[in-house]
C-alpha cells in the first residue's frame, strides 16, 4: 500500500502519455497523494483536465500560473515528493535531465528534487539503442536514479521491438516494491561487478574465461532484497535480472568495466568486485580475421587495468570494498596479500580445490577473510545462500 506516499509524476511528450491516466488511477487507488507535472508536448497526447480529475490535484505545466501572476514553485515540489516518477520519459527529456538543462517546470523540478527519481523511458527502438541515449541513461543511473526497463512489443512507429514504456501495472509494482523495500541496506548504494570480460583478438575471436556471472548476479539481487539500490556492471553472461532495485550495465572489456565502475564508484557505499576480469589483453587487435597459416601463432598480450586496485586507491572512509580470490595454490597467503594490495576491507576466497565450487557451478564453498585477519569458513552452499552469507558478513562490518 502507498497510503500517504507523495508521488510526483512527470509526464513528457510521448504517445505512452495516454497510459499515465491508468498509472495515476492505480497510484491514487493505493492511497498515494499524486501531483502531476507535464511538459508542453505531453499535453498534445493527453489533457491536463483528465489527469487533474484522476489525481485530484491541479496539473502543473508552466513556471507561471495563468493570469494570476503566481508561480509554480519547483523547489517546493521537489521537496514535497517522496518519489519523483518520470513516466513516460522521452529521449529528449532524458537527454536534458542527464545534462542539467532546466528549460521547463519538469526539468527544473528534477534539479530541485531531493527524493529518489525513477524513469520509465518510452521511445522507438532505434532511439533507445542509440549510444547517445545509452550514455544519457547511464549518466542518470550514475546520479543514483533508477530506470524501469522498457518492454518489447508494437511501437507507435509501426516497428516491433524494445522501447514501449513499461505497462502501468508494472510501473505501479516497481513503485510499490520501492516503498516496501526495507532492510539493513535501505538507502545504501551497492556496486557489483560480475561475469567475465572479453578481450578481442580479431573481429571474431576473443580472450575470455568460464565465469558464468551467477555469483555476481546472486549478490546483486540479495543486496537489493536487503533494500540497497544496486548497480550491477556485468561482462557477457546469460544471466538475467528483473529486480526493480538492480540496474544492470552491460560491458564487454576490462577497460569498459573500469570506465563504468569509475562512473558509479563515487556514489557507492559498498563495492563487491565479483567479476573475473581478464588480466591481459592482446597488445593489438587485428582488423581482419587472422588466417590459418603457420604451425604456431603467438599473440602478444599487455596488462589490463586492475579495476579493484584502481577503485581501492580512491576509497573513502565511508566506503567498503570487497574482492574475490580464486586461487589454485597458497590460497590463504595469496588472499591476504590481495586484501592489502587492492585495499579491500574483506576478501572472499573460493578454491578450485573444493569439489562443487567454482566458475560454472551452482554451488560455492567460500572462506571470508577481513582486514583484521579474521577468517571465517563456510560450508558448500547454493550460490544464492553464499550471496546471503557474504552480505551478512559485509553488514556486520560496515559501519556507516
Nearer to ligand C5P, 104 or 269 (CB): 269
Which residues, at least 6 apart from 153, have a Cβ–Cβ distance to it below 8 Å?
160, 164
**Residue 167 contacts ligand C5P per CB under 6 A:** no
3-state helix, strand, coil in the chain (%, to 5): 35, 25, 40
Candidate residues 122, 249, 273, 390; the one interacting with ligand C5P per rule CB under 6 A: 273
Q: Does 277 bind ligand C5P (CB under 6 A)?
A: yes
Which residues have a Cβ under 8 Å from the Cβ of 352 and sit 6 or more positions away? 326, 327, 328, 358
- The size of the interface with ligand C5P (CB under 6 A), counted in residues, is 14
343 counts as catalytic: no
- Going by the DSSP 8-state scheme, the letter that residue 43 receives in this structure is G
Strands 33-38, 59-60: pairing is parallel
Of the pair 101, 309, the CB lying nearest ligand C5P is at 309
Q: Closest distance between ligand C5P and the C-beta of residue 135, in Å?
A: 23
Q: How far is the CB of 254 from ligand C5P (least distance, A)?
A: 5
Beta-bridge partners for 119:
86, 147
Calpha distance 202→34 (Å, rounded): 54
Radius of gyration of the chain, Cα coordinates, nearest whole angstrom: 24
Q: Is 393 in the site for ligand C5P (CB under 6 A)?
A: no
Q: Is the bond leading into 88 cis (omega within 30 degrees of zero)?
A: yes
Q: Which is nearer to ligand C5P, 108 or 307 (CB)?
A: 307
- Set 57, 73, 92, 209: catalytic member: 209
Distance of alpha carbon 130 from alpha carbon 265, whole angstroms = 25
Q: C-alpha cell of 253?
A: 572489456
Smallest distance, Å, CB 339 to ligand C5P? 10
- Out of 323, 364, 369, 398, the only residue in the binding site for ligand C5P (CB under 6 A) is 323
Looking at residues 336 to 365 of the shown chain, list those that interact with ligand C5P (rule: CB under 6 A). 338
**3-class DSSP assignment, residue 121:** strand
**Between residues 45 and 324, which has the closer beta carbon with respect to ligand C5P?**
324
For position 369 contacting ligand C5P by CB under 6 A, the verdict is no
What is the x/- site pattern for ligand C5P, positions 281-320, by CB under 6 A? -----------------------x-xxx------------
- DSSP one-letter string for 315-383: --TT-EEEEEEEESSSHHHHHHHHHHHTT-SEEEEEETTSTT-SSS-SEE-EEEEETT--EEE---EEH
Write down the least CB distance from residue 341 to ligand C5P, Å: 8
Residues 188-247 touching ligand C5P, rule: CB under 6 A, are 193
**259 lies in the site for ligand C5P, by CB under 6 A:** no
Q: Catalytic residue positions?
A: 209
Would you tell me which residues interact with ligand C5P (CB under 6 A)? Answer: 193, 254, 273, 275, 277, 279, 304, 306-308, 323-325, 338
Amino acid at each position: 500500500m502507498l497510503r500517504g506516499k507523495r508521488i510526483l509524476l512527470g509526464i513528457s511528450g510521448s504517445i505512452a502519455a495516454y497510459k499515465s491516466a491508468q498509472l495515476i488511477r492505480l497510484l491514487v487507488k493505493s492511497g498515494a497523494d499524486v501531483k502531476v507535472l507535464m511538459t508542453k508536448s505531453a499535453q498534445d497526447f493527453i489533457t491536463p483536465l483528465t489527469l487533474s480529475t484522476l489525481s485530484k490535484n491541479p496539473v502543473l505545466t508552466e513556471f507561471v500560473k495563468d493570469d494570476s501572476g503566481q508561480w509554480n514553485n519547483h523547489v517546493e515540489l521537489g521537496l514535497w515528493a517522496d518519489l519523483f516518477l518520470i513516466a513516460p520519459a522521452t529521449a529528449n527529456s532524458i537527454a536534458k535531465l542527464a545534462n542539467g538543462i532546466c528549460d521547463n517546470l519538469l526539468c527544473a523540478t528534477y534539479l530541485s528534487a531531493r527524493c529518489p527519481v525513477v524513469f520509465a523511458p518510452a521511445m522507438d527502438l532505434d532511439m533507445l539503442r542509440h549510444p547517445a541515449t545509452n550514455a544519457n541513461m547511464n549518466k542518470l543511473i550514475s546520479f543514483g536514479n533508477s530506470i524501469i526497463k522498457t518492454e518489447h512489443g508494437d511501437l507507435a512507429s509501426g516497428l516491433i521491438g524494445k522501447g514501449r514504456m513499461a505497462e502501468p501495472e508494472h510501473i505501479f509494482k516497481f513503485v510499490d516494491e520501492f516503498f516496501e523495500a526495507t532492510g539493513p541496506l535501505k538507502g545504501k548504494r551497492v556496486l557489483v561487478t560480475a561475469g567475465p570480460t572479453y578481450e578481442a583478438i580479431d573481429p571474431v575471436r576473443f580472450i575470455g574465461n568460464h565465469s558464468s556471472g551467477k555469483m555476481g548476479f546472486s549478490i546483486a539481487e540479495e543486496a537489493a532484497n536487503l533494500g540497497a539500490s544496486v548497480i550491477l556492471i556485468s561482462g557477457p553472461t546469460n544471466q538475467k535480472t528483473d529486480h526493480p532495485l538492480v540496474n544492470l550495465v552491460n560491458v564487454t572489456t576490462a577497460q569498459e568495466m573500469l570506465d563504468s565502475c569509475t562512473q558509479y564508484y563515487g556514489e557507492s557505499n559498498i563495492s563487491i568486485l565479483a567479476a573475473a576480469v581478464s588480466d591481459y589483453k592482446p597488445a593489438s587487435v587485428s582488423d581482419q580475421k587472422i588466417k590459418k597459416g603457420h604451425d604456431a601463432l603467438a599473440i602478444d598480450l599487455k596488462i589490463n587495468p586492475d579495476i579493484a586496485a584502481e577503485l581501492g586507491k580512491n576509497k573513502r572512509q565511508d566506503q567498503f570494498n570487497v574482492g574475490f580470490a580464486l586461487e589454485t595454490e597458497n590460497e590463504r597467503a595469496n588472499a591476504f596479500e590481495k586484501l592489502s594490495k587492492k585495499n579491500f576491507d574483506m576478501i572472499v576466497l573460493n578454491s578450485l580445490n573444493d569439489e562443487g565450487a567454482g566458475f560454472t557451478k551452482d554451488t560455492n564453498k567460500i572462506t571470508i577473510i577481513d582486514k583484521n585477519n579474521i577468517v571465517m569458513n563456510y560450508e558448500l552452499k547454493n550460490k544464492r545462500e553464499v550471496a546471503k552469507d557474504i552480505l551478512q558478513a559485509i553488514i556486520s562490518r560496515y559501519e556507516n
